[in-house]
Amino acid sequence: MTSAALSRSEAAELDARDELAGYRDRFDIRDPDRIYFDGNSLGMPSVAVRDAVTAGTDAWARQLVGGWEDWIDLPRRVGDRLARACLGAQPGEVLIADSTTVNLYKLAHAALNVRAGAVVTDAGNFPTDRYILAGVAEARGRRYVEVDDPSDAVTVPDAALVCLSLVDYRSGARLDAAALTPRTAGLVIWDLSHAVGAIPVDLAPLDLAIGCTYKYLNAGPGAPAFLYVRGALVSSLHSPIRGWFGQRDQFAMGPAYQPASGIERFAAGTPPILGIAAVDAAVRIVEEAGIRRIAAKGAALTDHAIALADAWLDPLGFVLASPRAAAERGSHISLRHPDALRIDRALIERANVVPDFRQPDVLRIGLSPLTTRFVDVWDGLDRLRRLVERGDHAVGGSTDVRVT
């Protein structure tokens, strides 16, 4: 339910009472005037992540190759921490590895080894998911199906594999994973990229998941991703990429590949240690702040943004393209506007507000709970309102499109 629009002093009052307010001070914020609404693309660096990378290079200098005695199980240790902090998964079910794209590729092939039938996703799923799934389906000679409504994916009768984003990258709409999963005979891979670190995820009843760490987890541009395999399934699934870090008794360097018994079987090459150290530090902050408190603040921030959008932006031609009920959203909202691209560029270049544009007409407002204040929402949307009221976005400016 959406509340009435707050005044700026009421927003400031919410900040004063916010239990998580102090976390913002633990981030390396360079421009206090800049209002950053794009932590759902790339989160901000915390001092702890910066220090962890420095400590990682320091450990490398001190220990040299001996550092591997500690690093060798870092992908699993940090995976366990992430599982505990915000995924509702058990130790040994989550591994930090590769990119989200490569992890999806691995799990998709693994799922098709044990299920006959089609590969199914929704036409609005994130591009890399659709491209990977279509490619894997083609390679494996399976039917590839895109449905319009993600909830319909589980109704495709011959599904071997269903892939859905828990939170939609455009609308921010959240699916009910526990309700959808039992409705298909296929294995479901949940892409948690726009959910992890923003809302609590309960993987316990779910089979497979992937996600990135550079959005709400704030682990840095292109930081290593993660994958989840339900413990009971691990021993029956195999990675198509039979790398030496997935090998049982790796340093025997034996003649033939034999997958490790645990989640490590989904590792491929040498893991990126500095990157995983960054993920570790990033996850510790979420663990400390508590994912339920983070999600509650995210819900309040997005409610606040929707109320202001109703009051200020609806008259200017913006249309809310996100669910109004907080329980049905992640931590970003989307506003459609015919001039969304120009408005996005003008906000960045002339108002020091950084939202995000998505084709064809979507302005995304990401409200990362650990780094966004209630007054930021107020000030950012106020600058947006004034920019569009003046018509400033329609004059000149660039229209290049940037990276999520």
Q: Which residues, numbered 293-352, are part of the site for a second copy (CB under 8 A)?
A: 348
Q: What is the 3-state secondary structure (H, E, C) of the chain?
A: CCCCCCCHHHHHHHHHHCCCHHHHHHECCCCCCCEECCCCCCCCCEHHHHHHHHHHHHHHHHHHHHHHHHHCCHHHHHHHHHHHHHHCCCCCCEEECCCHHHHHHHHHHHHHHHCCCEEEEECCCCHHHHHHHHHHHHHHCCCEEEECCHHHHHHCCCEEEEEEECECCCCCEECCHHHHHHHCCCEEEEECCCCCCCCCCCCCCCCEEEECCCCCCCCCCCCCCEEEECHHHHCCCCCCCCCHHHECCHHHCCCCCCECCCHHHHCCCCCCHHHHHHHHHHHHHHHHHCHHHHHHHHHHHHHHHHHHHHHHHHHHCCEECCCCCHHHECCEEEEECCCHHHHHHHHHHHHCEECEEECCCEEEEECCCCCCCHHHHHHHHHHHHHHHHHCHHHCCCCCCCCCC
Q: Which residues is 157 bridged to in the sheet? A: none
Handedness of CA 110, 114, 116, 117 (dihedral sign): negative
Give 66 or 315: the residue with its C-beta nearer to a second copy.
66
Catalytic: 364?
A: yes
Catalytic: 158?
A: no
What is the footprint of a second copy within residues 264-283 (CB under 8 A)? 268-276, 278
- Write down the least CB distance from residue 92 to a second copy, Å: 21
Q: Do 354 and 348 touch, CB atoms closer than 8 A?
A: yes
Q: Do 72 and 208 touch, CB atoms closer than 8 A?
A: no
Q: Which two tokens stand for residue 112?
A: 């098709």
122 binds a second copy (CB under 8 A): no
Catalytic: 215?
A: yes
Mark the segment that binds a second copy (CB under 8 A) among 81-89, 332-340, 382-390, 394-402: 394-402
Count of chain residues binding a second copy (CB under 8 A)? 85
Q: Which of 80, 191, 356, 392 is catalytic?
A: 191
Q: Which of 23, 214, 216, 228 is catalytic?
A: 214
105 binds a second copy (CB under 8 A): yes
Mark the segment that binds a second copy (CB under 8 A) among 155-163, 173-181, 290-298, 354-362: 354-362
Look-up: residue for tokens 């949940």?
190
Give 175 or 353: the residue with its C-beta nearer to a second copy.
353
Q: Which of 329, 336, 364, 385 is catalytic?
A: 364
Q: Alpha-carbon distance 278 to 53, whole Å?
A: 6
Residue 72-91 contact track with a second copy, rule CB under 8 A, x = bound: x-------------------
Give 272 or 299: the residue with its C-beta nearer to a second copy.
272
Q: Which of 3, 19, 116, 123 is in the footprint of a second copy by CB under 8 A?
A: 123
Q: Which of 14, 79, 83, 100 is in the footprint of a second copy by CB under 8 A?
A: 100
Q: Alpha-carbon distance 334 to 112, whole Å?
A: 34
Give 5 or 340: the residue with its C-beta nearer to a second copy.
340
17 binds a second copy (CB under 8 A): no
Mark the segment that binds a second copy (CB under 8 A) among 221-229, 281-289, 307-315, 385-393: 221-229
What is the footprint of a second copy within residues 35-74 (CB under 8 A)? 36, 38, 41-42, 44-45, 49-50, 53-54, 57, 60-62, 64-69, 71-72
Catalytic: 27?
A: no
- Write down the least CB distance from residue 364 to a second copy, Å: 11
- Write down the least CB distance from residue 195 to a second copy, Å: 17
212 binds a second copy (CB under 8 A): yes
261 binds a second copy (CB under 8 A): no
Give 199 or 212: the residue with its C-beta nearer to a second copy.
212
Give 88 or 243: the residue with its C-beta nearer to a second copy.
243
Q: Which of 105, 126, 226, 318 is catalytic?
A: 126
403 binds a second copy (CB under 8 A): yes
**Could you list the active site residues?**
126, 191, 214-215, 364
